[in-house]
Structure 1
Amino acid sequence: MTASTLASPRPSNTCARKEAGLGSAILWETRKLRAQLRSRALLVGTLLAPVAVVLVVGAQSRPPKDSLFGRFSTENGFAMSLLVLGFASQWILPLVTAIVAGDAFASEDQHGTWKTVLTRSVSRSRLFWAKVLVSVVFGLVALVVLAAATIGASLLIVGRQPLTGLSGQLIEPGAALGLVAASWATMAPPLIAFTCLALLFSVWSRNAAVGIAAPVVIGMVMQLVGSLGGIEAIRPYLLTTPFEAWHGLLAEPRFTGPILDGVLSSAVWSGASLVAAFLVLRHRDITGG
């Protein structure tokens, strides 16, 4: 028997490398997101913009009376927080989450990096879920920062007076703080649903502008449709309806039915969007980049 026969065989250069796990994909996507100036600027904006809004609205001689808590906003910090919540839920939150989620997949098409990413020992499914999780977490972080900045600025600038609820009841500051925080928390389910919708458009369109703009436009259309009369049958299924569910927390007696319905509706929208996005990505031809 020769020495070459006894020697251990060298590993072949063609041996398959170990596939990267979901954790590694999430870490990589998080690093990419942290490196983007847009994401950092967005978080800074959610921190500073509420302070500016509270200062401007609080300086008005006539409070905005066309909203539920606007008439008390210049003399009550909790009412100011809810005034900002009503505005943000209609126009700001879908945009905040879509700015990142709408570019999550489209950026790979824009830079032609699909082949590079998917041939470095990471499967499509793990890359998909990594992008989904990072986008959802970013949206929730932005929501928390926006809520904390709004509540903090409102209480420091306007004050902690007892809040007048929707039924005319007086809510003491301690209880009012918990209800206001809970009202902001109810934004999480529809925010996640809009994130998933933006991810779907990002995968389908391969265009960041479409991925960002389409969910915002859809949200505006749903807001307009929801304000019309005679559509009670479809209003519970609109993705913007859960943004209004917090009103039940400020009534007497309190009711949480709309919140539970909103969670269910948001879950359906989220699930349908993610399934559609995954199927599109799974059948994506990446040979061109």
Structure 2
Amino acid sequence: MTATAVLPTPVAAATRVSVARGYRFELVKLVSQWRIRLLVLACWIAPGLFVAGVGQQSTLPSDTLFGRWMLATGWAGPLVILGFSGTWALPLLTSVVAGDVFASEERLGTWRHLLVAVRSPRRIFVAKALASLTVIVLLVAGLAASSTVGGLLAVGDHPLVGLDDHLLAPGDAAGRVLLAWLSVLAPTLALAGIGLLGSVVLGRSPMALLLPVVVALAMQLAQLLPLPVAVRLALPSWAFIAWNGLFADPGQLGPLVLGIVVSLVWAVTATAIAYLLFLRRDFTNSTDDGSARRAVTAGLLPLAGLIAVTVAVVAAVTGATTGSGIRQDKVQRSLATAFAHLYRMQTAQLNRPAVTEAQLKSSAACTKGDVADDAQGAGNDWRCVVSWHLPGTRTAGQAVYQLDITADGRFVADGDGPKEVNGYFLVRTSTGDAPNPLWQFDGNVDLLSTSPKG
């Protein structure tokens, strides 16, 4: 009897899963979760229903930007939703998606199984980051599309009154609404990067899920404080506000571009830190669930350093090292421009002879509290007198306004007489009573404007 040698069967070398396959797998995992599906449905349905519902009401959210125009044009609805989304919806969405994409593996205890299947921590991170980005973009697109369709169906494709109260044709309004929604993708990506970082560093901790919301709220509170312009513009949250400049004439694009660049820098930095920390992760230790020390040293300190760097760079680029950016001459110029636009609108309502803005020669004289010269800063104690001239008359017309200016430069002008100009919220036209455009209106002060005083 002869012994037969048994040779080992060749084993095929294990191959790494490609990024494309990993991305598809992670995307399926995300959209199979019931909460993600509910968010998708909510984002694609709820805004449209809200905008359409408001279009049928007699009261409007006039305390929100463009809210007072929701009965006049369908293009105001998506801008109202955009303002709400930047404050509440988008931070919450990034928390649920990006803030949980790594932490969910902690709860399920599937890290080692996933690593054996994919055989590359780098590809796992890239696949998860791309999948969460895809879902977030889908949610943002739903908010924009739903609110736009709801507004157009309920109110119609009419001209939109811009931020300095000039009329935007429907086509122009559509383009600017699209650009406004595209611009907020940058700060949304910044919050998503912070969510990825929190999910990697904090693991199963509830703070991992809440980190984007907490950071967003902290930045929004900072925007309410009387901070220097450079500090305000160095925060990603500024891009959630700066889209307002698209609706001014001329457009205030400098703050918007700066906000987008700062937000993208934050997004790249936070994601890169999360990536480096993820590669150093000890997957063999099931109790490695983040620590307060690592959260501070690896997460908080780099972001604090990033704030310092961006503040220095923004100050150097813009020259805005101190001050709020809200100056008396800027307020007067912005108010006079808005008044001239709206006066022409009221003239058309009342079938009076048409007048141009050059003929009106509108101007404003403003004081803030007891300060008559070089007044500056936010507050609700601004009082302004607007003057204008009509062709063929020697006496200038005058109207009084009380202004409430917020720290980001937005103001609400509330008419305080005379009654026939701005003292009543309705005007009598040939077709009946109509809203008085001069009674109360919004405006904006360009914080980075360097025009001379006076």
TM-score by length of 1: 0.92
What amino acid maps onto 2:236 in structure 1?
L
Q: Which residue number in structure 2 is paired with residue 11 of structure 1?
A: 10
> Which residues in structure 2 correspond to 1:179-258 (within 5 Å)?
179-207=176-204, 209-258=206-255
**2:20 is aligned with 1:23:** yes
**2:120 is aligned with 1:123:** yes
Secondary structure of 2:229's partner?
Answer: coil
1:51 CA drift (Å): 2.3
* Separation in structure 1 between the aligned mates of residue 14 and residue 253 of structure 2, nearest angstrom: 52
1:29 CA drift (Å): 0.5
Q: Which residue number in structure 2 is paired with residue 140 of structure 1?
A: 137
Contact 2:22/2:118 (<8 A) preserved: no
1:263 CA drift (Å): 2.1
Q: Which residue number in structure 2 is paired with residue 265 of structure 1?
A: 262
Q: Which residue number in structure 2 is paired with residue 96 of structure 1?
A: 93
1:162 CA drift (Å): 0.8
Contact 2:74/2:148 (<8 A) preserved: yes
Q: Rg bigger for which structure?
A: 2
Secondary structure of 1:233's partner?
Answer: helix
* Separation in structure 2 between the aligned mates of residue 25 and residue 208 of structure 1, nearest angstrom: 25
Q: Which residue number in structure 2 is paired with residue 154 of structure 1?
A: 151
Contact 1:98/1:216 (<8 A) preserved: yes
* Separation in structure 1 between the aligned mates of residue 50 and residue 81 of structure 2, nearest angstrom: 8
Which 10-residue stretch deviates more, 67-76 or 154-163?
Answer: 67-76
Q: Choose between structure 1 and 2 for higher RCO, CA contacts under 8 A separated by at least 6 residues.
A: 1
User: Residues 154, 208 of structure 1: CA spacing in aligned structure 2 closer, same or farther, 3 A cutoff?
Assistant: farther
Which 10-residue stretch deviates more, 65-74 or 170-179?
Answer: 65-74
Contact 1:102/1:210 (<8 A) preserved: no
Paired-residue identity, %:
37
TM-score by length of 2: 0.60
* Separation in structure 2 between the aligned mates of residue 209 and residue 230 of structure 1, nearest angstrom: 31
**Residue deviations 1:5-29, cap 9 Å, x none?**
9x997314xx641111111111110
Contact 1:239/1:266 (<8 A) preserved: yes
- 2:275 pairs with one of 271, 275, 278: 278
* Separation in structure 1 between the aligned mates of residue 227 and residue 128 of structure 2, nearest angstrom: 39
* Separation in structure 1 between the aligned mates of residue 93 and residue 59 of structure 2, nearest angstrom: 29
Contact 1:201/1:214 (<8 A) preserved: yes
Q: Matched residue pairs, number? A: 285
1:53 CA drift (Å): 1.8
* Separation in structure 1 between the aligned mates of residue 210 and residue 63 of structure 2, nearest angstrom: 28
1:210 CA drift (Å): 2.1
Q: Which residue number in structure 1 is paired with residue 38 of structure 2?
A: 41
**Residue deviations 1:72-102, cap 9 Å, x none?**
1222211222111111111111111221111
Contact 2:94/2:212 (<8 A) preserved: no
What amino acid maps onto 1:11 in structure 2?
P
* Separation in structure 1 between the aligned mates of residue 189 and residue 112 of structure 2, nearest angstrom: 29
1:224 CA drift (Å): 1.3
1:50 CA drift (Å): 0.5
* Separation in structure 2 between the aligned mates of residue 224 and residue 57 of structure 1, nearest angstrom: 28
1:184 CA drift (Å): 1.1
Following TM superposition, the consecutive aligned residue runs of length 4 or more in structure 1 with deviations greater than 6 angstroms are none
User: Residues 121, 139 of structure 1: CA spacing in aligned structure 2 closer, same or farther, 3 A cutoff?
Assistant: closer
Q: Which residue number in structure 2 is paired with residue 50 of structure 1?
A: 47
Contact 2:75/2:173 (<8 A) preserved: yes
* Separation in structure 1 between the aligned mates of residue 174 and residue 99 of structure 2, nearest angstrom: 33
1:109 CA drift (Å): 0.7
Q: Which residue number in structure 2 is paired with residue 113 of structure 1?
A: 110
What amino acid maps onto 2:216 in structure 1?
G
Greater helix proportion: 1
Unaligned runs of 5+ in 2: 287-454
* Separation in structure 2 between the aligned mates of residue 132 and residue 205 of structure 1, nearest angstrom: 17
Contact 1:102/1:208 (<8 A) preserved: no
* Separation in structure 2 between the aligned mates of residue 222 and residue 213 of structure 1, nearest angstrom: 14
Contact 2:40/2:139 (<8 A) preserved: yes
**Residue deviations 1:116-151, cap 9 Å, x none?**
111224200100011011111111111111100001
Contact 2:197/2:273 (<8 A) preserved: yes
Secondary structure of 2:267's partner?
Answer: helix
* Separation in structure 2 between the aligned mates of residue 8 and residue 18 of structure 1, nearest angstrom: 24
1:198 CA drift (Å): 0.6
Q: Which residue number in structure 2 is paired with residue 67 of structure 1?
A: 64
Contact 1:102/1:209 (<8 A) preserved: no
1:208 CA drift (Å): 6.5
1:62 CA drift (Å): 2.6
* Separation in structure 2 between the aligned mates of residue 62 and residue 90 of structure 1, nearest angstrom: 22
Unaligned runs of 5+ in 1: none
Which 10-residue stretch deviates more, 238-247 or 50-59?
Answer: 50-59
**Aligned-residue CA RMSD (Å):** 2.1
What amino acid maps onto 2:131 in structure 1?
V
Which 10-residue stretch deviates more, 132-141 or 55-64?
Answer: 55-64
